[in-house]
Amino acid sequence: MPLTPFHYPIAYLIHKWKQQLSLPALIVSSFTPDLDSLLNIITGGRIPMERVVLHSLLGVATLGTFLSVMLTVFLYPNLVSFLFRLDKEKVKEKCRFSITLVVLCLLGGVLHVFVDSLHHPFNPLLYPFINESINELVLFNNTVYATLVVQSLLLVLLIFIFLREIGKKDEGFWNRVLIG
């Protein structure tokens, strides 16, 4: 997988394409599928979920979307406003529950799973119906080269985005990159 923050450029680009879309929902949902890996690390592997449930299409469409919506509406405004000293009410406004927010949370999760399927050796896209990996999407049929290409591309995009936003004259960097 690209390191979780490397999924950010996709969220940012979708938001730039349609400014009225919730950047927080896209950010949270593009990170949420990696919660299964985090749970695996925290439990020392006792709960073997790494890259299974939240990296499957059904899992990301159901549990992943639900978690993304809950995290966006209830956690993101408090966390981001506290850590980056942003106006909590402004953040809450961008994180307000709506059908559009739910759809964006689904979209962000599905795009995360798709990007990961381009370069991971294990892609449980059809779990729980099929437990095997679906590797037909892996670029070059080589996970090493594919990982190098995907992660490099996303890293370059991330750096470009941050440099572009830092270069703007006003002082709203964190507002622009975290709430849109």
Helix H, strand E, coil C: the string for the chain is: CCCHHHHHHHHHHHHHHCCCCCHHHHHHHHHHHHHHHHHHHHCCCCCCCCCCHHHCHHHHHHHHHHHHHHHHHHHHHHHHHHHHCCCHHHHHHHCCCCHHHHHHHHHHHHHHHHHHHCCCCCCCCCCCCCCCCCCCCCHHHCHHHHHHHHHHHHHHHHHHHHHHHHCCCCCCHHHHHHCC
Residue 15 lies in a domain: yes
- How many structural domains does the chain have? 1
Residue 42 lies in a domain: yes
Q: What is the pLDDT of residue 2?
A: 46
Q: What is the pLDDT of residue 45?
A: 65
Query: What mean pLDDT is predicted for residues 33-40?
Result: 81
Q: What is the pLDDT of residue 146?
A: 95
Q: Which residue has the higher pLDDT, 103 or 4?
A: 103
Say if residue 1's pLDDT is above 70. Answer: no
Query: What mean pLDDT is predicted for residues 146-164?
Result: 95
Enclosing domain of residue 64: 4-166
Confidence band of 3 (pLDDT split at 50, 70, 90): low
Residue 178 lies in a domain: no
Residue 179 lies in a domain: no
Residue 174 lies in a domain: no
